[in-house]
Chain A
Amino acid sequence: MLAYILRRILQVIPVFLGSTLLIYFLVFAMPGNPILALFGDKTPSQSVIDALEAQYHLNEPFIVQYFYYITGIFQGDLGNTFSGQSVNDVLARTLPVTGRLAVMAIAIEFSLAIIIGTISALRKGKIFDNVALVISLLFVAMPIFVLAFLAQYFLALQFGWFKPTVGGNNNWGDLWLPALVLGFSLYATSMRLMRGSVIDTLNQDWVRTAYSKGLPRRRVIPVHVLRNSLIPVITNSATNFGVLLVGATVTEAIFNVPGVGNTLFQATLRHEGPTIVSFVTVFVIIYVLVNLVIDLLYGLLDPRIRYVK
């Protein structure tokens, strides 16, 4: 198990180098000089353009820019944004916010998916099941920004249950609205997986055996059925995590949450190489780590996986 974990952690290094190089290339390949955009419709003098280009190494070929970036990283410096802040500081400020948001969203997603998915499976074909399926279809089909705008309009503006935007206050309690939007946008696929998986498990021989041994339903469902049904849902949550990060970018922009997604959104608009690369890289690393954690979770849920390794 330890060797397995180590190997998975070492995998992060090529993923890191590969993704930064690729992203750097993509940012570099974006057409247009970002310095010119900083001046609006006005044209700055050539000497000012030259000086600013030199400051951000924009006048160098992309491989040299990348080299500056990577050497910086090994010295613990992720570069500076166009506004002169160090990317380290920006990350330190924004990551906890997005982290809180992600934890809340996943908690909402899982509790909804597990509860509704299980009840649906147990009442397959009944009214509850049908309604739940139709509603989940709605959430699957709806793009996250539509959901976000609807939530902002109805829950915040019309009913006044939440503040329409988050802004500077981003403690747990302030993030409810974006977390609900993210949670609900993810919940539908998980709930459907959970439902299917529970139905599958209910038909397994060992469930029938458990019942025939005379075990009560309240023991069979949580222990024998749920534990086994969770595996595909957990697997899926790794993919879902990617969706969550993308969704966070949109959601944070709409709800004005000062997290990584919002900053990435703005940095992309400004072609800020180091900022974009650092943020996307952090996304990649988080994604890789989450996958690692989920692989390890399998082992906990299904001992067979643990021993095969």
Chain B
Amino acid sequence: MKRSKIALASVALAGIGALALAGCASGGSDEPTPAGGDAGAIIKVNGSEPENPLFPANTNETGGGKIVDSIYAGLAYYDGEGNIVNDVADSITVDDANTITVKLKEGQKFSNDEAVTADSFIKAWNYGALKSNAQKNASWFSDIEGYSEETDSELTGLTKVDDTTFTIKLSNPVAADFVQRLGYSAYYPLPEVAFEDPAAFGENPIGNGPYKLAGEGAWQHDVEINLVKNDAYTGGREAKNGGLDIVFYANLDGAYADLQSGNLDVLDAIPTSAQATFESDLGERAVNQPAAIFQSFTIPESLAHFSGEEGQLRREALSLAIDRDAITKTIFNGTRTPASDFSSPVIGGWSDSLEGADVLKYNQDKAKELWAEADKISPWSGTFQIAYNSDGGHQAWVDATTNSIKNTLGIDASGAPFVDFASLRTEVTNRTITTAFRTGWQADYPGLYNFLAPLYGTGASSNDGDYSNPEFDKLLASGAAADSVDAATADYEKAQEILLKDLPAIPLWYSNVNGGYADTVQNVVFGWNSVPLYYQITKS
């Protein structure tokens, strides 16, 4: 999702970078690095200018997200494997499918010495949910009692018990999943001063996380933001370095050049121009691991020939006609992993052995057979097209995919380029699009539910293809209300098996996170959300 916007910013130049850099791979020196680290060292990492003032409930993109995550601590955080670990919370208890009780640790403080109390959360959440505040993450509060999209209304489901205890009453029985979400930035607490002048606060935010702003004006717009260790923070993410300089880059080629010449310590994305060479450039310091990003193309239910039994046959045939292995190898240089379900390998509950997952394997004979069967119901006419935004580096794989379909099924298939991301999304949102279109999902929290409910649930916010299946909805609901993770996963697996039959979207591949670091730093671990765990990094 937002990752695509980063690609978007760099892609115009990246293609040309490939021209200039092709074949000029430089060998980085791989000298061993001394152990231990300087606790006062500042780590230089890449970033992008936040799209909004730094307000947790209004930050939904990676540029601002990595800063907000560094300067705030929520009830819980996600560790390197994506497990949820209590941060400010002492305990989070599911009382029943609609009720959660939260107890906070004693003595937690914001960096201005204000205590972090139940009110810090209740007020912040109410601010984020209020319609007239138009916060980008408002929908994260929609399961709490009292939330309204139409009018300004208070979150009546939040009740303060005492200074360090509050309860959350949900309007939907999804407590088990709601607890999983609590590490997301929308749920961070805010100090009193935030509500006095939100705009000014967003420029110089005060948080309770492992880092704080180096001082007034530490955010130099379009240039960088300087963070230093916040000694008041005592949770599990305590910084092992002195601070972070997050440098904003307009394009990744420059950032990559800086990494190679030692001007940057950690880079969490690799420009397209260097994707073929970065592993040889950086050696052991190259990172290429699966990320929580799922990519697909969606065929709207309303498209001619794609509803009912005919539609099901055609969807299956299209999926079988795509050679995912070849495309991820040749087009993406192995920086994508062919999909085997609708989630991601870094998410608990991911599976490569779901019933019906064969539909994601390249099988020309079966594809032809199914397509012919569908033709018996109603003969195929016209062209099969996949719409994409041409500012996002998608042309290569769309062309390869439609070629694979064309060659297998013997039909006319091609890409349908849109000038930019905004125009594609407008057509998709307004339902005026007349072709299949590319879709992607980057999870907001490491939970299977997040890959399924917002995308394929009946009437869900990002259900761009208007898919609806009551049986699927029922399984999702029972998973979200389950009392154990295993029980929930079992429900989600069954739900995914329905998706593999109906194919509202054709799964393609999971994105890998590609990054690297300089030989000056150690302990660089990329988290489940593709952002390095900055607090663990040490510098010698």
New A-B pairs, 5, CB < 8 Å, besides A41-B439, A146-B19: A31-B422, A32-B426, A33-B426, A40-B2, A145-B16
Q: A45-B138, A164-B263 are in contact. Are A37 and B257 (CB under 8 A)?
A: no
Q: Are A41 and B20 touching (Cβ within 8 A)?
A: no
Q: A51-B132, A256-B250, A266-B250 are in contact. Are A33 and B8 (CB under 8 A)?
A: no
Q: Which residue of B lies closest to A149 (CB)?
A: B20
- Considering only residues 237-252 of chain B, those with a C-beta below 8 Å from chain A are 247-251
B192 contacts the other chain (CB 8 A): no
Measured CA separation A263–B422 after assembly (Å): 19
Q: Which residue of B lies closest to A52 (CB)?
A: B134
Residues of A within 8 A of B3 (CB): 40
B1-23 vs A, CB cutoff 8 Å, 1 = contact: the mask equals 11111001100010011011100
A192 contacts the other chain (CB 8 A): no
> Chain A's nearest CB lies how many Å from the CB of B181?
15
Measured CA separation A168–B225 after assembly (Å): 10
Give the contact stretch, choosing among B45-53, B83-91, B163-171, B489-497: B45-53
- Considering only residues 143-164 of chain A, those with a C-beta below 8 Å from chain B are 145-146, 149-150, 152-153, 156-158, 160, 163-164
Q: A36-B429, A44-B139 are in contact. Are A82 and B391 (CB under 8 A)?
A: no
Residues of B within 8 A of A271 (CB): 422
Q: A41-B4, A43-B462 are in contact. Are A256 and B260 (CB under 8 A)?
A: no
Q: Are A45 and B422 touching (Cβ within 8 A)?
A: no
Measured CA separation A150–B16 after assembly (Å): 11
Measured CA separation A36–B253 after assembly (Å): 27
Q: Are A253 and B51 touching (Cβ within 8 A)?
A: no
Measured CA separation A51–B58 after assembly (Å): 13
B232-276 vs A, CB cutoff 8 Å, 1 = contact: the mask equals 000000000000000111110111011011010000000000000
B408-436 vs A, CB cutoff 8 Å, 1 = contact: the mask equals 00000000001111111111010000000
Residues of A within 8 A of B250 (CB): 252-253, 256, 262, 265-266
Q: Are B254 and A165 touching (Cβ within 8 A)?
A: yes
Q: Are A48 and B1 touching (Cβ within 8 A)?
A: no
7 A–B pairs (Cβ distance < 8 Å), ordered by A: A32-B420, A90-B221, A158-B26, A256-B251, A256-B254, A266-B49, A269-B9
A94 contacts the other chain (CB 8 A): yes
Residues of A within 8 A of B421 (CB): 32, 37
B61 contacts the other chain (CB 8 A): yes
Measured CA separation A256–B26 after assembly (Å): 22
A218 contacts the other chain (CB 8 A): no
Q: Are A150 and B20 touching (Cβ within 8 A)?
A: yes
B113 contacts the other chain (CB 8 A): no
B131 contacts the other chain (CB 8 A): yes
> Chain A's nearest CB lies how many Å from the CB of B425?
4
Measured CA separation A153–B260 after assembly (Å): 10
Residues of A within 8 A of B26 (CB): 157-158
Residues of A within 8 A of B422 (CB): 30-34, 36-37, 271
Q: Are B461 and A256 touching (Cβ within 8 A)?
A: no
> Chain A's nearest CB lies how many Å from the CB of B148?
9
Q: Are A167 and B134 touching (Cβ within 8 A)?
A: no
Chain A residues within CB distance 8 Å of chain B? 30-34, 36-48, 51-52, 55, 82-85, 89-90, 93-94, 145-146, 149-150, 152-153, 156-158, 160, 163-165, 167-168, 250, 252-256, 258, 262-263, 265-266, 269-271
Q: A83-B53, A149-B253 are in contact. Are A47 and B150 (CB under 8 A)?
A: yes
B157 contacts the other chain (CB 8 A): no
Question: Count the B residues whose beta carbon is within 8 Å of the partner chain — how many?
Answer: 71
B202 contacts the other chain (CB 8 A): yes
Residue of A30, A41, A167, A168 contacting most chain B CB atoms (<10 Å): A41
Contact among A55, A94, A250 with B134 in the assembled complex (CB-CB below 8 Å): A55
- Considering only residues 198-240 of chain B, those with a C-beta below 8 Å from chain A are 199, 202, 220-224
Residues of A within 8 A of B52 (CB): 82-84
Measured CA separation A163–B20 after assembly (Å): 18
Q: Are A45 and B462 touching (Cβ within 8 A)?
A: no
Q: Are B21 and A149 touching (Cβ within 8 A)?
A: yes
Measured CA separation A82–B222 after assembly (Å): 13
Q: Are A163 and B24 touching (Cβ within 8 A)?
A: no
Residues of B within 8 A of A254 (CB): 13, 251, 253-254
Measured CA separation A168–B264 after assembly (Å): 13
Residues of A within 8 A of B427 (CB): 32
Q: Are B429 and A45 touching (Cβ within 8 A)?
A: no
B136 contacts the other chain (CB 8 A): yes
Measured CA separation A141–B520 after assembly (Å): 41
> Chain B's nearest CB lies how many Å from the CB of A249?
10
Q: Are B222 and A258 touching (Cβ within 8 A)?
A: yes
Measured CA separation A255–B13 after assembly (Å): 12
Q: Are B461 and A36 touching (Cβ within 8 A)?
A: no
Q: Which residue of A lies closest to B20 (CB)?
A: A149
Q: Are A168 and B223 touching (Cβ within 8 A)?
A: yes
Q: Are B261 and A153 touching (Cβ within 8 A)?
A: no
B440 contacts the other chain (CB 8 A): yes
Measured CA separation A90–B221 after assembly (Å): 8
Q: Are B261 and A51 touching (Cβ within 8 A)?
A: no
Q: Are A253 and B251 touching (Cβ within 8 A)?
A: yes
> Chain A's nearest CB lies how many Å from the CB of B152?
10
Residues of A within 8 A of B24 (CB): 153
B464 contacts the other chain (CB 8 A): yes
Q: Are B2 and A156 touching (Cβ within 8 A)?
A: no
Q: Are B423 and A31 touching (Cβ within 8 A)?
A: yes
B454 contacts the other chain (CB 8 A): yes
B441 contacts the other chain (CB 8 A): yes
Residues of B within 8 A of A43 (CB): 429, 461-462, 464
Q: Are B9 and A266 touching (Cβ within 8 A)?
A: yes
Q: Are B441 and A41 touching (Cβ within 8 A)?
A: yes
Measured CA separation A168–B249 after assembly (Å): 11
Q: Are A256 and B249 touching (Cβ within 8 A)?
A: yes
Residues of B within 8 A of A158 (CB): 26
Residues of B within 8 A of A46 (CB): 149
Residues of B within 8 A of A263 (CB): 222
Q: A41-B1, A164-B254, A165-B249 are in contact. Are A93 and B221 (CB under 8 A)?
A: yes
> Chain A's nearest CB lies how many Å from the CB of B319?
20
B185 contacts the other chain (CB 8 A): no
Q: Are B261 and A160 touching (Cβ within 8 A)?
A: yes
> Chain B's nearest CB lies how many Å from the CB of A160?
7
Residues of B within 8 A of A31 (CB): 418-420, 422-423, 426
Those 5 A-B pairs whose CB atoms lie nearest each other, nearest first = A32-B423, A40-B1, A32-B422, A51-B134, A149-B20
Residues of A within 8 A of B1 (CB): 39-42
> Chain B's nearest CB lies how many Å from the CB of A184?
15
Q: Which residue of B lies closest to A266 (CB)?
A: B250
Q: Are B258 and A164 touching (Cβ within 8 A)?
A: yes
Measured CA separation A84–B59 after assembly (Å): 13
Contact among A34, A93, A146, A156 with B257 in the assembled complex (CB-CB below 8 Å): A156
> Chain A's nearest CB lies how many Å from the CB of B256?
9
Q: Are A38 and B51 touching (Cβ within 8 A)?
A: yes
- Considering only residues 15-50 of chain B, those with a C-beta below 8 Å from chain A are 16-17, 19-21, 24, 26, 49-50
B514 contacts the other chain (CB 8 A): no
B60 contacts the other chain (CB 8 A): yes
> Chain B's nearest CB lies how many Å from the CB of A102?
18
Q: Are A83 and B420 touching (Cβ within 8 A)?
A: no
Q: Which residue of A lies closest to B134 (CB)?
A: A51
Measured CA separation A39–B17 after assembly (Å): 28
Residues of B within 8 A of A168 (CB): 220, 223-224, 247
